[in-house]
Amino acid sequence: MKIAITTDCHIQMLRHPEAELSRFMDLVLAEKADVFCVLGDLGDGLAGYDPNYQILLGKHPTTFFVLGNHDLYRQRGMKLPPHESFAFNLKHFAVGTPLENSWNDIETIHTIADDCVFVGSIGWPDFEHPLICDSKLHYDSSVDSWNAATIDPQYIDLTRGWLQSTLPLQEAFASRLTKAFAQPCSNVVVLTHYPILPGQCVLDPDDLTMWPYFFNWTMGQEVLRLARIHPAKRVWCFAGHSHDYCLGKVTQEAPNVFAYGHNTGYGRLRYAVFDTQAPSESNPTTINELDKH
């Protein structure tokens, strides 16, 4: 199966969003992938409904997506806790198929041609990355400096703490993962906005301040645990969010688990194509970017 992915399009930051997205989707469609996946940060929730989301999500007949942190944004006086913002903002995406329909969604998975099962989540920082835990930067939800390190708290109500938001999300995702691995499919495809496996994100050991905002460790460990129980399945994990910190190549995280973080940046439209029939070292089979000149 051919799977095309993109992420972090941040469409309101494009200079000519309608024209650029149309040309970008022409490139994606020419790849004749079976599935097109969008891994979050489609835009800024601040913009509300934007017709250009329909270009990104409505061209390929089988389009799956997950939301990113920017998709949860709301105006300062209207900001909501993550689970409420998720519910409110999801309705701005009127086409395409979300792989996560609520913060406590225990149902949604999608199988394609009995070959691949797709499961996804925004992911949300859980502060469990061992390098975080081993560092002096012990997470404390009451410490305002954690919130000061990212602009998210300006647009999402995080006063109750990041981790309190994360726990129910992880629990629901674990239920969907279990359901996905139980399907009679030879491939499990895991889409997250935040990285969940080490190879998806390069972290700078000399600059720990931003690390908590870059990772959900627990979700990745659950994928690895289930992959060990199902050694005959191949597991593909795709993530975005970290832009230039994403490695942009496939890493093998276990005998049957392959991870990829899509390296991209603001104002860029970039996609990668994967072939689940091809060896992992041949993937992605294509990486391409819209040339704006």
Sites of contact with Fe ion (CB under 5 A)? 41, 68-69, 241
Region of residue 250 (phi > 0: left; psi between -120 and 50: alpha; otherwise: beta): beta
Smaller CB separation from Fe ion, 241 or 262: 241
Q: Least distance in Å: CB of 96 to Fe ion?
A: 18
| Residue 152 CB, nearest approach to Fe ion (Å) | 9
Beta carbon of residue 100, minimum distance to Fe ion (angstroms, whole number): 15
DSSP 54: H
What stretches of 66-172 adopt beta strand conformation (E)?
A: 97-98, 110-112, 116-121
Nearest to 56 by CA among 88, 76, 27, 90: 27
Please give the radius of gyration of the chain, using alpha carbons only, rounded to the nearest integer: 18
- Which CB, 242 or 276, lies closer to Fe ion? 242
Nearer to Fe ion, 181 or 214 (CB): 214
Q: How many CB atoms lie within 10 A of CB 58?
A: 15
| Cβ atoms 1, 112 nearer than 8 A | yes
Distance from the first to the final alpha carbon of the chain: 32
Query: Is the CB of 92 or the CB of 179 nearer to Fe ion?
Result: 92
Helix (H) or strand (E) holding 117: strand 116-121
Residue 194 CB, shortest distance to Fe ion, in Å, is: 7
The minimum distance between CB 41 and Fe ion, in angstroms, equals: 4
- Choice between 45 and 284, CB closer to Fe ion: 45
Compare residues 244 and 291 and give the one whose CB is closer to Fe ion: 244
Taking CB atoms, the residue at the shortest distance from Fe ion is 241
A 10 A CB-CB count for 157 gives 16
Task: Give the DSSP letter of residue 197.
Answer: S
- Asked whether 258 and 252 are in contact (CB, 8 A), the reply is yes
Say which residue the tokens 């289930």 belong to. 226
Q: How far is the CB of 195 from Fe ion (least distance, A)?
A: 10
Closest CB to Fe ion among residues 176, 241: 241
CB of 228 to Fe ion, least distance (A): 29
Q: Is 120 exposed, middle or buried (0-12, 13-18, 19+ CB in 10 A)?
A: buried
User: Do 257 and 24 contact (CB within 8 A), yes or no?
Assistant: no
